Amino acid sequence: MSIEIFAGAKPLVRSAPPNWGEISPVDRPAPVVRFALVDRWVSFPADQFTRWEHAIGEPELLTIKTGKEEIVIEGRELSEIRAALDLGRLCELRVNFPRPTGARPGPQVRRITIETA
């Protein structure tokens, strides 16, 4: 029989936040999504997103549509970002490419553009 010293205790160290952005806690949907562009930050109310499309390829493209604008994310391994959108938990997205060697696995965001539809 084994005895746990701290049965059910939370880990002492939090996992590191993703280097591509932020997601909200499980029990709270994100009311606003921020995009970090080269020269500015742009925020959208999350309920303005009408649809998104994830095209697999090299590079992968994640296209998000609003009533008047189209946001295009270019990169690799974007499924985690798409899942955060699906769950309403995407708070912030920023470019993290090129990654230094030895960096954590996960999405690589090369470019974010916002165009008027």
Burial class of residue 1 in the structure, from the number of CB atoms within 10 Å of its CB (0-12 exposed, 13-18 middle, 19+ buried)? exposed
Residues 58-78: pLDDT tens digits? 999 999 999 999 999 999 999
Residue 11 has a pLDDT of 62
Nearest to 45 by CA among 35, 60, 57: 35
Average pLDDT, the chain: 87
CA pair distance 109, 81, nearest whole angstrom: 10
- The 8-class DSSP code of residue 58 comes to S
pLDDT (average), residues 77-84 = 95
Say if residue 87's pLDDT is above 70: yes
Strands of the sheet containing 60-65, edge to edge, are 51-55, 60-65, 69-76, 108-116
Tell whether pTM > 0.85. Answer: no
Identity of residue 57? G
